[in-house]
Amino acid sequence: MVSTSNGNGVNGGQNGVKLNGKRHAGEGLDRPHPQTSFIESTIDPQSFYGKMRKLYSEKVLMTQLKQLKKQGSYDAFDLKWHPSYDLARLHKGHFSPWGFPPTLFWDSDVGKWIEAVCYFLNSPDGANCAHKSVFDASVQELINKIEKAQLPDGYLNIYFMVVDPEGRYQNFRDMHEMYNAGHLLEAALAHHHYSGSRQFLDIMLRNVECWMRDIGPNEGQIHAYPGHPELELAMLRLFDRTKDPRHFDFAKYLITERGKKRDDLGGDSFFVYERKKRNDPHHVMEFALTLYHDLSYNQSHAPLSEQDSIVGHSVRALYLTTAAADLGGEGLTYAKRMWDDAVDNKMYVVGGFGSEPRFEGFHKCPHWLPDSFGLGYLETCAAIAAMMTAERLLSHQLDGKVRDVMELALLNAVLGGGSLNGEQFAYANTLATIGDENATRKDWFTVCCCPPNLSRTLGLLGGYTWSSRIDYDNQVINLDIYLFVSAKKNIALPDGSIAEVQMITEMPWTGKTTLSVNAPADWSWGVRVPTPEYAANIEIDTPTLPDVPGYVSVRLDASATVSITFDLPTRLIANHPLTTQDTLTVSRGPIVYTAESYDNSDLESKYKHFQGLGIKSSSSFQETPLEIEGIPMVGLSTAPGDVWLLEEAYKNQPYRAVSDKRPARTWTRLEGQKLTFVPWFARANRGGAGHVRTSFLRADEA
Amino acid sequence: MVSTSNGNGVNGGQNGVKLNGKRHAGEGLDRPHPQTSFIESTIDPQSFYGKMRKLYSEKVLMTQLKQLKKQGSYDAFDLKWHPSYDLARLHKGHFSPWGFPPTLFWDSDVGKWIEAVCYFLNSPDGANCAHKSVFDASVQELINKIEKAQLPDGYLNIYFMVVDPEGRYQNFRDMHEMYNAGHLLEAALAHHHYSGSRQFLDIMLRNVECWMRDIGPNEGQIHAYPGHPELELAMLRLFDRTKDPRHFDFAKYLITERGKKRDDLGGDSFFVYERKKRNDPHHVMEFALTLYHDLSYNQSHAPLSEQDSIVGHSVRALYLTTAAADLGGEGLTYAKRMWDDAVDNKMYVVGGFGSEPRFEGFHKCPHWLPDSFGLGYLETCAAIAAMMTAERLLSHQLDGKVRDVMELALLNAVLGGGSLNGEQFAYANTLATIGDENATRKDWFTVCCCPPNLSRTLGLLGGYTWSSRIDYDNQVINLDIYLFVSAKKNIALPDGSIAEVQMITEMPWTGKTTLSVNAPADWSWGVRVPTPEYAANIEIDTPTLPDVPGYVSVRLDASATVSITFDLPTRLIANHPLTTQDTLTVSRGPIVYTAESYDNSDLESKYKHFQGLGIKSSSSFQETPLEIEGIPMVGLSTAPGDVWLLEEAYKNQPYRAVSDKRPARTWTRLEGQKLTFVPWFARANRGGAGHVRTSFLRADEA
């Protein structure tokens, strides 16, 4: 029998009814969520990831608390009028899809911040957080506000309780009612897990009862699902806590109902039925036809089983994919299909997603990933959502490629969303600037989904690091390593004793990792060790067994130490050929590099945003020490003179005939010049305009 | 003294007051417009261009008449309610920028069709048009409707006379009032020129009086200008007919006022002032902020003198540039600056413009010209507008590069807008399909600006062919050749005699042209002959003098014959490097080629839309005869086995590390396979899905 170490025992103990076994073949939740399993891990505060986490617990969470207070969302559950609602009032009766105020999302912003705080304070090292008393008090104050705000029937939503009470349940497509509820529910689960108090969880259980009463497949219920998926995955996590089959069924309904046409909706799917019923004014309909009424924007254009490519709003798509993966069964089939399309055809080299700024989404065309015009979108939340999906996929089936992408997203597209002084954030991220757009991070955003999403991701990082399952029959502790993080993990054994594993690593800068395990003598270990795609000359000082691609297995006695070493050569990465962009990107290990104006002021000012510059496939790079805001990193630079200019780039010659005698490209060496690169996630942290270029023209001959 | 042969004498003679000389240094209109000078030219009906013109006069104009009647625009000047106006009525008081009905443009659609008919019937060969009686009757019927519709104060506009009378003069930014008037005025000028009747021209002169009374810089006037430029260039053409300085001044006001901030508008420019005065509902403002309120969409974001790049809606931008070029002086400076930016940085290889489908416009980024994803916009009207600008620039100063682009646009992006059976049209054009979007042409469009714009362009083709000026002092007839067209041109000399020039050419398929001139014995000729960028081994059997780049001069006696021959090698065209697209496009002379599924069904069905296929810089091409809808052309194909596959294109490997040992590209020869190419303008004329690819990956080694 294989069971779960669900890491739920530290402060828990007030859980609901246990479910007797899985409900359906292939479905269910015997895979611990990182949002609970993280508490088994202690991340070394002196390590790279430890320092990043310290940045978030010590600085970022406080920055965000101040911003939430300044913005108004912190006090919004007082249900008083806020000046920013004036905008909303103008719209009543004249709904326009872009006419709703950003206050529509305030519940979720507060929710994600509470969730993040609870993860940090619930971590084994959480007591070290300097702001614990402030955070505890703020969280309690917010919960009290939320409790007071809740309607007798369990409904909770700032916008529809203050601004537009008649609008409740009128527009599930756009108005984020269930999205907000999902984030509050995740916050409540984190708070219950952290504090042991049922106050917030009980509020949200009442809210969930409200949803389950009003929404669903049965007669008399509204056959809705969320325009922005989120409640789905929160419900599955709630089910993991309560084992209440109604919670599982509601999640399953929300996921699998999506995009289905129903006879009792006049043959339409829900959002079409709902729109017709609303009878939106024509001008909304016309505009919306090009965006909101394109149901692929919210992935409701077809039932999940009929969707063959990942489309629409990136965060919606990847939240949905996460929930579907967690659901298992046909959901997992869908999730794998969407994931493969996202990764193989629609992913930027930094593990970022979304190349269509117009709707923050996946472009309909595979390989439409322009990387040289400052125009990719790469929303921070989308990269976080990709980590979420990856983790759920790995929980079902280990896969080195999925792991590699999760690590790639974390170390590049996710971490790049925050400044290293803890004060600024990126919503959209850019691989190359063309003007100043998205060159530097901002203090805050009117729609501020990304910053607290970053915090909660760093908060539960231990949950993304590894996953363990206990094989009782054979007395084997199975450990799947996802990330190379200096951390300890305690795994509770059935007899109450604790097995320990410690990973000490110099990653992501040096491929040197030591893994020590320690369990009672009658136990052994089955550890699955990543062999990342970027690693060269991997050496493991213990016999290994083949495993899934990207992994090897080692069998270890109760106590053992394994050394894993590999080289991290600097590599030049070519885009997929169908992008038609023949550029090279510098990377080293899981880190993607960028050239920034700060280090290359002469070259950048002469060749604005490094346009027309190239590097060769044969180039070698020098490693240089680099420290930004106290975080040591590895910098890179080309050899002097190994920077190449395509002079045609500066000619007013839109098109040029080429032949075997007139080559398409002729490169001029820029004597004595070199390009210096820094990790892309660390860009725009040292002042300056933040002009960057990540992909350089390939300067090979011919 | 250099004066003008303005070609105005055939049916004219009822012009208004003559202006005594030019009004301002560097300004004025001593350069004949092609819309009048075309009547000097007779295009050989058996030649390529003659056959294209015959297609339009015999088939396309009739197709369009039927469509205008079917759509409702033909009868719209009856000022009766039309069902499609119901949409508009819903909007009254709730204006949304995308909420207005397409009926808003109906005046202009009818106007352009009348204009086109008049050009064809006014051509020396016009009497041959089989539909002359139908067209004459229809034009007269339309003019009678328009006359009856006009308000006593001269105002004319279907939308604001039927649908929203209170809306007149409330939104010059979006509602096309002056745009419509401009097209009707151009139609009236063409009709007057053709028929000698003043009926339509007098209607439009009353309309012009209405505009000049109500709009202008003076106190008591509305300080507006058209959201979509058009009236500007029509007014300059009117001035050319009337020489009424008020007409010139009004055109100059409309052009130069654009984007200027005025104290008497509260320090705003007009569209900002107007919006504030309208007090648009918030939801409109918010959406519009991203598009319509971005004043660069309509080129009013700054005074023309401060605009340094061409931005916004492509047709608006290029109509404005045309008018500014025609104005001369500071307008010409502006036009040259915009033209250079458009051509050098924002032009597709087929002479198409507009790479931003979202607003049918120029992308803000130079070299953002993705050509492999079926997503360029390349609106047919934008290419026509580029021809219009080019002709005005050439009228000021001959320039081989401007000429080359005018010819490129005509033979590719313009002609490609119509099917060769005369029944279908393209609004947006695509260089490569990815699905079926824009793969085939459509019968008609809800917004049908492009089809009649094509017709009028073909109608006045003789005006684009060449330009002549008479040097009285030296008795020299100066002739600038713009296009290689088999045509005769009669040039009236001051003594009433006629000088003749005849061009016989096999262009655009063979570089063989004979030019014969014949004038009274005491005259001589100064002919400027293009030396196109695409031509090789140019031979002219007469001594030539150097001239501006892209031209040579020949001095000829009164009667002489010159032979001009050059080779038209098939060339492979590389994009500007800053597009970062390393592709090759097949072209031959001024014709750009494409591979279509019709000729390459095996390759296209195997490698969907030819994805992952490449050609080499060293490839040679075989010429093959081709005839589509009775029009002979040159087809091209690669040698068998000279098609290359990049196998990586079919691997699920989003990024790949490359080095000097692992080349970025490895090409596999597709043994025995060849690619067949047809002129891009002739694509999608023989059935099939119309899947095309114009730019192929460059398959050179390394």
pLDDT digits (tens, 9 = 90+) for B624-681: 999 999 999 999 999 999 999 999 899 888 888 888 788 888 899 999 999 999 999 9
| pLDDT surpasses 70 at A93 | no
Q: Tell whether B79 lies on the interface with A, counting CB pairs under 8 A.
A: no
Nearest to A497 by CA among A553, A558, A555, A556: A558
CB A299 within 8 A of CB A321: no
Closest CA–CA distance from residue A174 to any residue of chain B (Å)? 15
Contacts of A370 in chain B (CB under 8 A): 368, 370, 580
CATH topology of domain A2-17+31-346+357-461: Glycosyltransferase (1.50.10)
B665 interface with A at CB cutoff 8 Å: yes
- What letters, b where the CB count within 10 A reaches 16 and e where it falls short, cover B322-360? bbbbbbbebbbebbbbbbebbbbbbbbbbbbbbbbbebb
Q: Touching check for A87 and chain B: CB below 8 Å?
A: yes
CB pairs under 8 A between A and B: 207
Residue A160: CB atoms within 10 Å: 21
> How does strand B570-575 pair with strand A655-658?
antiparallel
pLDDT tier, B508 (very low <50, low <70, confident <90, very high otherwise): very high
Question: What is the distance in angstroms between the Cα of B146 and the nearest Cα belonging to chain A?
Answer: 30
Q: Which residue has the higher pLDDT, A702 or B13?
A: A702
The whole-chain average pLDDT of chain A stands at 91
Q: Alpha helix (H) ranges present in B155-198?
A: 158, 177-195
Please give the residue of chain B at the shortest CA–CA distance from A649: B577
Q: Classify residue A632 by burial, with Cβ atoms within 10 Å: 0-12, 13-18, 19+.
A: exposed
More confident residue, A291 or A468: A468
CB B317 within 8 A of CB B355: no
- In the predicted model, is pLDDT for residue A39 greater than 50? yes
Q: How confident is the model at residue B101 (pLDDT cuts 50, 70, 90)?
A: low
Whether the predicted pLDDT of A5 surpasses 70: no
* Residue with the larger pLDDT of the pair A176 and B293: A176
Average pLDDT over residues A226-236: 97
Band of pLDDT at residue B109, cut at 50, 70 and 90: very high
Residue of B nearest to A607 (CA): B578
Per-domain residue ranges for chain A? Answer: 2-17+31-346+357-461, 472-567, 570-698
Of the candidates A290, A582, A655, which has its C-beta nearest B576's C-beta?
A655
Q: What dihedral do alpha carbons A125, A126, A131, A137 form, nearest 10°?
A: -160
Q: What's the gap in Å between the CA of B206 and the closest CA on chain A?
A: 35
What's the rounded mean pLDDT across residues A324-331?
Answer: 96
Q: How many CB atoms lie within 10 A of CB B25?
A: 8
pLDDT tens-place string over residues A678-696: 999 999 999 999 999 999 9
User: Using a CB-CB distance cutoff of 8 angstroms, which residues of chain A are in contact with residue B580?
Assistant: 370-372, 581-583, 695, 697
High-pLDDT (> 70) share of chain B, %: 91
Dihedral (CA of B324, B329, B333, B339) sign: positive
Residues within 8 A of B (CB atoms), A 241-260 only? none
pTM metric for this prediction: 0.89
Inform me whether the C-beta atom of residue A401 falls under 8 Å from chain B C-beta atoms. no
A451 touches chain B (CB under 8 A): no
B571 CB neighbours in chain A (<8 A) are 657, 659
* pLDDT band of B84, cuts 50, 70, 90: confident
Inform me whether the C-beta atom of residue A615 falls under 8 Å from chain B C-beta atoms.
no
Whether residue B612 and residue A577 make contact (CB cut-off 8 A), yes or no, is yes
- Place domain B472-508+511-567 in its CATH homologous superfamily: Maltose phosphorylase, domain 3 (2.60.420.10)
Q: Strand order of the sheet with strand B476-481?
A: B2-4, B466-471, B476-481, B524-530, B551-556, B545-546
**Is residue A545 scored above 60 in pLDDT?**
yes
The verdict on a CB contact (< 8 Å) between B655 and A574 is yes
CA distances from A311 to A365, A376, B371, B437 (A): 9, 16, 21, 17
Q: What would the mean pLDDT of A176-185 be, rounded to a whole number? A: 97
Predicted pLDDT of residue A362: 95
Nearest to B656 among A368, A574, A616 (CB): A574
Instruction: Quote the minimal CA–CA distance from B504 to chain A in Å.
Output: 28
Please give the average per-residue pLDDT across B686-690, as a whole number.
95
pLDDT range class, residue B12, cuts 50, 70, 90: very low
Task: Look at A578 and B649 and tell me if their CB atoms are within 8 Å.
Answer: yes
- For residue A246, the distance in angstroms to the closest alpha carbon of chain B comes to 40
> A 340-399 residues with CB below 8 A of B?
340, 343-345, 347, 349, 358, 365, 368, 370-375
Which of A313-327, A365-379, B553-567 has the least mean pLDDT? A365-379
Which residue in B283, B584, B665 is closest to A99 by CB distance? B283
Per-residue pLDDT, A11? 33
B698 touches chain A (CB under 8 A): yes
Chain B interface disruption, residue of A580, A587, A680, A698, most B CBs within 10 A = A580
Backbone angles phi, psi at A514, to 5 degrees: -120, 135
Distance CA B625, CA A565 (A): 65
Judged against a pLDDT cut of 80, whether residue B531 lies above it is answered with: yes
SS3 A356: strand
pLDDT (0 to 100) of residue B127:
66
Q: Which two tokens stand for residue A455?
A: 């915090």
How far, CA to CA in Å, does B634 sit from each of A375, A541, B419, B685? Answer: 40, 68, 18, 15
**What's the gap in Å between the CA of B696 and the closest CA on chain A?**
9
Distance from CA of A702 to the nearest CA of B (A): 6
Lowest average pLDDT, out of A7-11, A115-119, A500-504, goes to A7-11
Q: Does domain A472-567 have CATH number 2.60.420.10?
A: yes
Looking at every residue in chain B, the average pLDDT score rounds to: 91
**What residues form DSSP beta bridges with A351?**
none
CB pairs under 8 A, 24+ apart, for A657-661?
A657/B534, A657/B571, A657/B572, A657/B573, A657/B574, A657/B587, A658/B572, A658/B573, A658/B574, A658/B584, A658/B617, A659/B571, A659/B572, A659/B617, A659/B618, A660/B616, A660/B617, A660/B618
Q: What residues contact residue A380 under an 8 Å CB cut-off, 6+ apart?
A: A413, A414, A416, A417, A425, A426, A427, A429, A450, A453, A454
pLDDT band at B275 (very low <50, low <70, confident <90, very high): confident
Lowest-pLDDT choice from A289-298, A458-467, B606-615? A289-298
Proportion of chain A above pLDDT 70, given as a percent? 91
Query: Across residues A331-341, what is the average pLDDT?
Result: 98
CA A14 to each of CA A18, A198, A493, B187, B638: distance values in angstroms, whole numbers, following the listed order = 11, 8, 21, 82, 75
pLDDT at B100: 58
Q: What is the ipTM of this complex?
A: 0.83
Smallest CA–CA distance, residue A620 to chain B, in Å, is 9
Q: Which of B89, B98, B283 to mutate to test the interface with A (most CBs of A within 10 A)?
A: B283
Residue B282 has pLDDT above 50, yes or no: no
Q: Tokens 């008020």 sit at which residue?
A: B246
Of A272-276, A321-325, A425-429, B139-143, where does mean pLDDT reach its minimum?
A272-276
Q: Residue type for A335, please? A: A
- In order, the DSSP letters of B164-175 are -GGGTTS-TTTS
B617 touching A, CB under 8 A? yes
CA distance B638 to chain A (A): 14
- B580 and A577 within 8 Å at the Cβ level: the answer is no
Contact residues, chain A, for B649 at CB < 8 Å:
576-578
